[in-house]
Structure 1
């Protein structure tokens, strides 16, 4: 029995090609649940269960908690896999316990976020108002991006996707300098998880805020991804695909640069174009 899940899972498949068929091995991106628990002197509480690709689980937990405004990096005393004796061995590596330095935080805001994420009567304006309660607009800063740097980001991100090369089924999030140098990359079946892993890496290594960096994601730019980038202080987000309307609204309201449809030597600037030295409009 496999005790600790890995990022890929081998399976046997039948492959058809024209009029022939053959049996062969294929590698799939692993998808397993991860339970995130908070532990303090006054108790233990489960705060989230997410489907993810195993790997960098501690970073995922730290990044998720930071992005949702639940726990700041300085409030984390330690992170470990669960050791509860009543759990089977294979389940222990799907449960992460985050030990806090103080008491359990008020989780009412987090609970409301999950309860209202798909509820009737919730609008984008209300969502942005809630975000203003814990985040402030980002300053203009010194980050300046050239079109040449932007055009190279998807290729450098793809070069860093080791598991995608085996499975073809993972999203990625990459952190870059303003010169286009890849700092770190994380992969996951969920694009938001990939961002959480990246932010968690930065949080646990004392790199926040990421005020002079660029976030590149392999899919579309959603409100959730922009929220996580904002909480980490990332001023510029680039995506291979389209942004959502609320993602654009968030970027404009909080002073972020948002680049979409970044493919080849083309892209759309949806917000914060002042950080990009684009050629004159024709």
Structure 2
């Protein structure tokens, strides 16, 4: 977090105070020494972010596909490592992804995303065959559980969050970032490094809207259910329908809109398929 002295204005009152800002810095991800992408992110869980990005791009599917991840010692300012450049080394025999121009920001995600057909061809797991069923009351409680785990948001009010939950509503992992897509990549990277892919029987809960890219990332991680507190895009709904993903939007209190995969939502039924089990909530330190 960054501390900043500000002017606070309320009605006729003006006061000076110290405010906490969410940090945003660039991270360059290199693959076997070659620059791959630059993303604007909240520093922290950078190894998970890099690994999750490679999961969402279809480059890796297990922890064994990655040999090492390290900060580049040459990325320094006044002799100090900036910790803003990572190099990922793939394991022998793992092919590098096709070269593309990757540039991501904290708001829009990867620009120039491939077509829906490309997403279908690189997905390693089929979300459509996941039989998990969730109780409606369990889904309704996820926003509060996600919010309760947002430690940095409590102090800054400036971060998105993504949480991975069992079908019973138990938190597995929560990550925060200035970018929605970065928060999800950090979750996927955590799951990869913990040997949890595919994430069958789980729910991905995000604090903002459900974009095409977030649906794609859920599909690439084998997540069967994506829930968001805000609206999905038309392309997100289309992809969810094609991939057999359950997509829930406008999840607020006891109300929600189910845009795809309504078969998994039970109004009163017992929650089935608790996924990979609860490991206790993980949040950024």
Specify which of 244, 247, 250 is matched with residue 236 of structure 2: 247
Note the alpha carbon deviations across 1:17-73, whole angstroms, 9 max, x for none.
22221211000000000000112xxxx201110000001000000000111112333
The structure-2 alpha-carbon separation of the partners of 1:34 and 1:112, relative to structure 1 and needing over 3 Å to count, comes to closer
1:220 matched residue in structure 2: 209
3-state SS, counterpart of residue 231 of structure 2? coil
Structure number with greater Rg is: 1
RMSD: 2.1
Of the structure 1 ranges 126-135 and 175-184, higher mean CA displacement relative to structure 2 is found in 126-135
Note the residue ranges of structure 2 that are not aligned, 5 or more in a row: 105-109, 269-285
Give, in angstroms, the shift of residue 226 of structure 1.
Answer: 0.7
Higher relative contact order (CA 8 A, sep 6+): 2
Note the alpha carbon deviations across 1:84-105, whole angstroms, 9 max, x for none.
1766555530111112222684
Quote the Cα distance in structure 1 between the aligned partners of 2:230 and 2:76. Answer: 44
1:152 matched residue in structure 2: 141
**Counterpart mapping for 1:160-171 below 5 A:** 160-171=149-160
Q: How many residues align?
A: 261
Matched, 1:265 2:258: no
- TM-score if structure 1 supplies the norm length? 0.86
The structure-2 alpha-carbon separation of the partners of 1:224 and 1:85, relative to structure 1 and needing over 3 Å to count, comes to closer
> Which consecutive aligned stretches of 4+ in structure 1 deviate over 4 angstroms post-superposition?
85-91, 112-115
Note the residue ranges of structure 1 that are not aligned, 5 or more in a row: 1-7
Give, in angstroms, the shift of residue 248 of structure 1.
Answer: 0.6
1:5 matched residue in structure 2: none
Specify which of 165, 173, 192 is matched with residue 162 of structure 2: 173
The structure-2 alpha-carbon separation of the partners of 1:137 and 1:113, relative to structure 1 and needing over 3 Å to count, comes to farther
Contact 1:81 1:95 in 2 (8 A): yes
Quote the Cα distance in structure 2 between the aligned partners of 1:132 and 1:91. Answer: 39
- TM-score if structure 2 supplies the norm length? 0.86
Quote the Cα distance in structure 1 between the aligned partners of 2:52 and 2:173. Answer: 14
